[in-house]
Amino acid sequence: MLLPRRRPLRALGAAALAAILALGACTGERPTQADEPDSRASTTTSSSSTTTTTAAPEPAARVAQAKAPRIAVFATATDPTPAQEIVAGVDTSAETIPIVFLVADGADPQDDRIHVHLPVRPNGSTGFVNRAEVDLIDVPYRMEVGLTEHRIRVYRDEELLVDEPVGVGRSDRPTPGGTYYLKELLQPPDPTGPYGTYAYGLSGFSNVLQSFNGGTGVIGIHGTNEPEAIGTDVSSGCIRLHNDVIERLVEEIGLPLGTPVEIQA
């Protein structure tokens, strides 16, 4: 099942979304991303005889979060005129959801523009945004979805956190392969409904359906009220999880927006 327009789903509050994105957790009771750099930053230990320096691991991804609810996108790093504009509430399900991009390659803080993946059709689109208009955030998480094996795996750095079965798109409405990212987190008004307890909207779209239930055919990762269909080709393109698994991703792990999602055939 694809994600509809915002009617059946309600966006999480702005404060909760900001916490998920900036802190990597949903409540203040869990460690926030602000506390995490101590474990990821370079560390130096000294003694009277030796000094050892350990380099921080490279983050799994870098995310650019727009500082405003709309942002200009340029076709190249040097074009004087924007090619398009990404707008909260148009390219996301609600105006309160921040605009995030997965950085497409290394982003030097001195670069005037950052190369990013875009949450627009066609799938795989990229562009450039002004460095001054975004905040760059390192994300240690990544997701892999194996369509043939019907599995989802979630990693923090190289540590495997989740390895669970999923339902994927039917043969006539297949889940598209490619590199995407989590662009929004939504909470269905009815946790016993077809979207389960939570739904992540991805930056990708169905290659078959140009619209779905008033929406634009956005691919999602969400819970389900048909757990018996997990492990099969059952949806209109979305990736279905058991509700306890999507709850773990949101409530326990706190996957931040911008987390890369590699969908593999």
The 10s digit of each residue's pLDDT in 76-107 is: 999 999 999 999 999 999 999 999 999 998 77
Tokens 């950085």 found at: 103
- Give the integer Cα–Cα distance in Å for 87 and 72: 9
Question: Which residue in 115, 117, 150, 238 is the catalytic one?
Answer: 238
Which stretch of 4-8, 17-21, 158-162 has the lowest confidence by average pLDDT?
17-21
Average pLDDT estimate for 211-216: 74
- Give the integer Cα–Cα distance in Å for 104 and 179: 10
Q: Which residue has the higher pLDDT, 67 or 9?
A: 67
Tell me the CA distances in angstroms from 263 to 17, 58, 179, 216, one per residue in order.
24, 22, 6, 19
Question: Which residue in 117, 150, 222, 242 is the catalytic one?
Answer: 222
Which stretch of 15-24, 68-77, 170-179, 203-212 has the lowest confidence by average pLDDT?
15-24
**3-state secondary structure at position 230:** coil
Structure tokens given for 188 = 């269905």
- Is 26 annotated in the active site? no
Residue type, position 255, single letter: L
Percent of the chain with pLDDT over 70: 78
All residues at 6 or more sequence positions from 250 whose CB lies less than 8 Å from its CB, including other chains? 20, 26, 185, 198
Residue type, position 1, single letter: M
Pair type for strands 239-240 and 218-222:
parallel
Strands annotated E in 67-177: 70-73, 84-87, 100-102, 113-117, 126-130, 134-139, 141-146, 151-156, 159-165, 168-169
Tell me the CA distances in angstroms from 209 to 102, 157, 244, one per residue in order.
24, 34, 29
Residue 132 reports pLDDT greater than 90:
yes
- Is 222 annotated in the active site? yes
Which domains are present in the chain?
10-15+140-264 (2.40.440.10), 61-139 (2.30.30.40)
Most distant CA pair in the chain: distance in Å? 68
